[in-house]
Structure 1
């Protein structure tokens, strides 16, 4: 267990799950750990995940190089309706959240990629939501190679973790063959400059929950992430160099009828250093209709949610939160 008492916000701990049994073909050996962590915390660390440190280092170096470019160069890749590309500093305000009155823009800049696609891809030609082309900088050698290599490895890790979630749910992995045959993936490079003044309802990223199935976060060298598990105060997530941090999202919470929780989290960088983060977002195929699993419905726990696709859920959220899709006067771009 990881002690987080160092933060001064709350005493607490985030579970650590060793993935050795998963890679040995025994997902049932960690299913109960995933179930307990996802039910009680919505976050857990994973150890022995199989992602090489040099690949992680390469993406962090790529992030630092990208955000060090002149603003005009970054704006050549400005984020589009598919949420691909560069989002400038203060480019988002988390208006969908209810935990905090998020009235001020987030103090970060971001760059997003999704699955690499060819211009002739039928989904690209049909202009399906979140199936667009990635936008790559021209003057950063090995940038594209580093990011695509990393996303490929972490996507494979996420698919293995789905086996653990199936065991946690008590269902056959066959249940997930169709939704995760072509999963929706996204990698976000984020830069949080040092917050000289802390307070006044300003955050690197304000309290929020993630929209999808799960997020996989590589360890950063600079702390700043805090989570608020159910019934607890804010807990500072420690930096564990040999572990990735996984959190469950809104779509998974709907899928399990609120048994697996989507936990609020936030970032404040008051370390005096530049902070970089590289979360990887993993969800079912964006057109797959997610409906609450029967195993989570009973007379005591009736079904709470209507069926929805990830494209619908994600589209609704980013239209409200991201300024490139919302002109702050209630006019939005229809992307889903």
Structure 2
């Protein structure tokens, strides 16, 4: 594979065995794949981006009303210059909003999954944002079903482990680069924390994925393609059978850097009390168990949020 493959997920229903094999091979090699045929309409994606852009265009003092000090960015608004990639000298050049799962406030997960905030300045924000959350959650579940089959698990292995997952929809605004001495990355080289990430409708080039040979490979997906990558939790669960690949967002050259960039990743997480322990089927003589100690999904999340300065 000289480039990151894009696969049509409709083949999961029509050509399952071949699709599962190709998808699994893509993730073993890259930790990334493009998914098309997902059924999420351009109209839904365009409407979501319109709403998110209108929010980010609000005055700073309005947006900051939705920042929760000490909340680790779990819900609401996180301002420009807070999140910093692990081991990076520079903070990321972005501001963002977090939408989480709507759960009953008497749920056993309520302490770990705060209630959502919704900006009153944009009446349709909740409907549009949570609609996209739900759609991407369903698509992510289909991808996980295929990956489960690829490593010899039941198709529904992840279903009861993610049905109350602490997942996050994160609309991001990377402001235009207006000075020449700004570090040349909008988001520093990093791996994602969660099981899988689905990136819908990035509005500009800039995503780069680090190959096994150490080269940065640009991945600008077609408009009908959602980029789906492996996160550290799934890497740990599968004993690195599925690698969580380092990636970054770089500034485009010249005048393109003067344009804002918007993207909306969906971070699919397990239920907070899911225990991440290496799957026995992924332990072999060539790939001995890499993580002797299990950890809950919530414990792992909190550990990582401290590393990226959100907690």
Partner Cα distance (2:260, 2:144) in 1: 33
Partner Cα distance (1:200, 1:64) in 2: 23
Q: Does 1:34 align with 2:23?
A: yes
Partner Cα distance (1:155, 1:35) in 2: 20
Q: Does 1:86 align with 2:77?
A: yes
Q: What is the correspondence of 1:26-175 to structure 2 with a 5 Å cutoff?
A: 27-79=16-68, 80-81=71-72, 83-94=74-85, 96-97=86-87, 102-124=88-110, 127=111, 129=112, 131-175=113-157
CA 1:177/1:91 → structure 2, altered by over 3 Å: closer, same or farther?
same
Partner Cα distance (2:156, 2:232) in 1: 22
Q: How far did 1:277 drift?
A: 0.4
C-alpha deviations, 1:191-211, integer Å up to 9, x for none? Answer: 011224567645211000001
CA 1:76/1:207 → structure 2, altered by over 3 Å: closer, same or farther?
same
Structure 2 unaligned blocks of 5 or more: none
Q: How far did 1:314 drift?
A: 1.3
For normalisation by structure 1, the TM-score amounts to: 0.85
Partner Cα distance (2:269, 2:62) in 1: 31
Partner Cα distance (1:29, 1:199) in 2: 49
User: Tell me, what secondary structure is at the counterpart of 1:278?
Assistant: strand
Q: Does 1:273 align with 2:259?
A: yes
Choose 244-253 or 230-239, whichever is displaced more: 230-239
For normalisation by structure 2, the TM-score amounts to: 0.92
Q: Is the 8 A contact 1:28 1:164 kept in 2?
A: no
Choose 30-39 or 242-251, whichever is displaced more: 30-39
Partner Cα distance (2:239, 2:309) in 1: 27
Which residue is equivalent to 1:333?
A: none
Q: Is the 8 A contact 1:256 1:293 kept in 2?
A: yes
Partner Cα distance (1:29, 1:183) in 2: 29
Q: Is the 8 A contact 1:195 1:268 kept in 2?
A: no
Partner Cα distance (1:293, 1:55) in 2: 37
Structure 1 unaligned blocks of 5 or more: 2-11, 326-336
Partner Cα distance (2:296, 2:309) in 1: 20
The total of aligned residue pairs comes to 304
Partner Cα distance (1:191, 1:18) in 2: 29
After superposition, the CA RMSD in angstroms is 1.9
Q: Does 1:17 align with 2:4?
A: no
Q: Is the 8 A contact 1:20 1:48 kept in 2?
A: yes
**182, 187, 195: which one aligns with 1:213:** 195
Which residue is equivalent to 1:332?
A: none
Which residue is equivalent to 2:172?
A: 190
